[in-house]
Amino acid sequence: SLVFCDECKAGGPRGISVFTFATGQRRCLATPDAATSRLLQPTLSPDGNTVAYFDSSTLYRTNIFTVPLAGGTPHQITHEVTNQWGLLWSKDRRYIVFNSTRDGRSGNLWWKVPVQGGAIEPETDKKPEGFMSRDGRLLGSVQNGGPGSVIWRIQLSGPGGKVTSKAKIIDSDSWNEGPQLSPDGKHILYTNQLSGADNMWRSDADGSHPLQLTYFGDDLTGTPRWSLDGKGIVFDRRHGAHAQIYVMD
């Protein structure tokens, strides 16, 4: 199945939907309580049973909720009056890690909260936005700045451990976004604007042998994800008034 943000009802606020490939059916997993609220960034737990997401009523009021993938009542995890982003699950599934301005913009940005809710604590092991390998030993991070951006490969001492090495693997004068490591750990999928528009690219895990996969024009394209067997790619593309989800080999 595929979990993504979409209108649960035509013209309604954006919620969380699940599309099942075997049946071709889509169901609504969670809807916002008010028309002014939006549900954002659905992120599946490592065991595949729970979806965490943000409920954003304004730019600076965002909270974390969870809901079972099978369906059920959403559970509110945080009760903040701050902006939150960068949602991640800890490897042991005990915590949800996120960015927040709760300590001020010049203070700590990374925090963690137990999945059942409770006290929010600073996250000392910084986990950059990007990807984490399945064994928890490898991170990918995007650093934006200047005319372009850099994708970093960060090696950890163990699952969720300390940083042991950091290497710049992709550096270009255009924007790189959404890096995703393939299930076998051999390739990286990402969005790049080298052609003048957002398109999907693939490279070896060390950044070598970049290959352009799509050739769209001035469309908004991104959020690439691998299928579990590594043979397919799913991404979103907005061509005209409506966004669509695409699957490609």
What is the tens place of the pLDDT at every residue in 114-128? Answer: 999 999 988 876 554
Residue 108, CA distances (Å) to 42, 61, 104, 112, 124 in order: 24, 18, 7, 12, 9
Please compute the mean of the pLDDT values over residues 233-241 and round it to a whole number.
Answer: 85
pLDDT of amino acid 159: 66
pLDDT of amino acid 113: 93
Pairing of strands 242-248, 233-239: antiparallel
**pLDDT over 70 (residue 142):** no
**Mind listing the pLDDT tens digit for each residue in 83-105?**
787 788 887 788 998 888 777 65
pLDDT of amino acid 106: 47
What residue type is assigned to position 126 of the chain? K
**pLDDT over 90 (residue 25):** yes
Q: What's the whole-model pTM score?
A: 0.58
pLDDT of amino acid 169: 78
- Mean pLDDT is highest, among 100-114, 152-166, 235-249, for 235-249
Are 52 and 42 in contact by the 8 Å Cβ rule? The answer is yes
Computed over every residue of the chain, the mean pLDDT equals 82
* Distance from the Cα of residue 89 to its chain's centroid: 11
**pLDDT over 60 (residue 161):** yes
Contacting residues for 15 by C-beta, under 8 A, at least 6 apart:
5, 6, 7, 8, 28, 29, 30, 31, 32, 39
Comparing 67 with 217, the larger pLDDT belongs to 67
Q: Hey, how many other C-beta atoms are within 10 angstroms of the C-beta on 70?
A: 9
Question: What is the pLDDT confidence band of residue 140, given thresholds at 50, 70 and 90?
Answer: low
pLDDT of amino acid 216: 85
Hey, which residues does 98 pair with through a beta bridge? Answer: 111
pLDDT of amino acid 131: 62
Residue 81, CA distances (Å) to 8, 190, 242 in order: 26, 33, 31
